Amino acid sequence: MSMEIGFLLLLLVSMLAAVGHICFKKAAVANISFARKFVHPFFLAGVFFFICCPVISSLAAQVIDFSIMYAMTALNFVFVLLLSRIILEESIDWPKITGVCIIVIGLLVMITA
């Protein structure tokens, strides 16, 4: 497997983790009892996405240094911010945008070094 495929797999992992977090949020705010939240379809979908993440990460680990792999999990913040705006209609302010820009710059520095 090429490093490019490894990086694409890590992007997929970050996206799946972000979708999983959004699913957990949707289950958490559902108007049902606390116990029923754990069998809510959104909660179960979130669990599924989180189970997929280490499986896919293990494939990427074959060609990507672990220090880079772990740093790339910071992309979860980027995807959660975007998805929370699109799906949950949460606001995005300048501190959030600044933080995401710092994360992306830091990752670019690490990956291109």
Tens-place pLDDT, residues 38-52? 999 999 999 999 999
Residue 72: CB atoms within 10 A of its CB come to 21
Structural contact between residues 8 and 58, judged by C-beta atoms closer than 8 angstroms: no
- In angstroms, what CA-CA distances link 49 with 20, 22, 69, 76? 5, 11, 18, 13
pLDDT at 96: 94
Tens-place pLDDT, residues 3-40? 899 999 999 999 999 999 999 999 999 999 999 999 99
pTM of the model as a whole = 0.88
